[in-house]
Structure 1
């Protein structure tokens, strides 16, 4: 399926970082991971670190699905507010989900440091402002809930917000001290290269035509006639994983992003180069890059087809550029790259992680939503524990049988 169109900045910036072979013979391995994006890379990393031998297969080139189009704002905030998630799942599970995402930021920081500084991981603050006056009470309630549960946040009133962002003429915002950003495409490649050094085998441009469940494992039939036998299969193919499920767990959306040319300014482009986003749904979101570019995304639409999504790219890109100029009129925003993609969300905003009865010896790592990278860290830990026959105390929060 066509996941992405346009000029995804991270691929244009990095190019084809590494070469991976195709499969020329039948294989057998303890664990096979379907999916060569950031979710599959993190899954391979955690398993390789635990000494579990893995084979990874990807039907595209490594990282050229949704990963190359990721805007990589790493935020503990789930697309569903903590207050709303508490109503849906109860306070204990909602708070645990938020805390796991927050912890995942710093786990990813440690992973990035181990695989190399070139992934451009950097901690940031995050500013989440009320788009409309009537959304302010709900945002204030959300701030109080986060503060009550020990999340490091501050409340910015209108004057404080104007002080730091003079042209964001809104009534209030939550400042979060825990956020980050990264070059996701490069990170995925670095993770796979590190896994290969530990004995993992990574293949791309190979299509899995059939998944056959057997008594003691899973057989994958490939498009080139070869086969892979495995005791346990992990499906980490993003929203395309829905093709292997009879249970519908996703809603698809089209999203758009653009990035400016480098802005010749010393120092931060705005307050501490924080991540910036808004309470409206769909929401605008912004970040900077290490070479002083502005990345802005949003203007989401319900997904109908890749053709209809792509037809809107020019108009959506223009709207995003106008929004950037309106919010930061003192910065010379000149659009450089623009792209669009398809992403999935769930009803409660949480990922789906674990197994289903219809697919024995198979685990799904479905890190949907606005913070899918952090969800993928959580998924990698849970599935690693399941494979190692260890009890994970958080697995049930993200299971397929949740209410």
Structure 2
């Protein structure tokens, strides 16, 4: 028989009963009684304290001897269904030796704590779930109404033996037990008694947490020197910084290419990915292959001669990322003497000379038709063009002509 507890007794019919009261939300009592000699006699009653939206509360198995519990699948007018909805929850991180890491918001002490993580795609109402440190005692602590973990969310649980501190205005959960620094277990059990997750840990170190990485992973357990209660776990995968092989200072002539291979080692196992880069002081045009470490740069005439500081860096992909760097000095010098970069005969008796120039200098092309002549003759006017210059000469009737370019 189904009775509607809606406070609408006027809606009752011979086949559909409506009570003249509404039950309190969250917790309360419902009783079935009868009058005998005008005195009420209680036939049965039920106290409930784990009601949450979308759930019902009752006995399983059906009848007086059934255990009272919340139901994820309400079944009005039918046999009660005690199965819990499938969830993907993990005991994700814990600290059983908290001496200074995180203070309990209730009382301010550094109590034990652990966190639950919802890897699933739906929020999970934890009402009626159980927590324990003794896996054979699955009812050590029953989570009260009001604790919901959103998808991808965390719930911080204080193992402070202060369950009375729980209320719907607090985001954290407080349980009626503590954790043992010397090692024990933590279990999470669904309302139907299904073991959702359990961990067993050994001797713990002060202010070092232990847990899963990545979050919600069923693989090995890791120790975290940087605990993250209520947040995603971070595993320091870098124990060693990479080491650059010595590079040393370099030199190059202006306009000539400079290239060399940078190499590095990293002692971390498994091997990490190393990435090469240049510092902000690298001159324009300089670059390095991030994977192979090939450095290349051709200093231009615009950049000019001088000594350039260039920082070369290698970084691993660990967490946190570690790096090593070296700053080398690259000496860029002017070419030894004037460099003629081209001599082109475009037609019989017509020749064009090309050469590199330096800023602030004047150049004059001169010629001889015979090297035995005493004097070099100027060909055309002086030029101050920069960074290069060109001169075209017509040899006329001369079958041979010698040229030189002087700078001053």
More RCO (CA 8 Å, sep 6+): 1
Task: Name the TM-score, length of structure 2 as normaliser.
Answer: 0.19
- TM-score, normalization by structure 1: 0.19
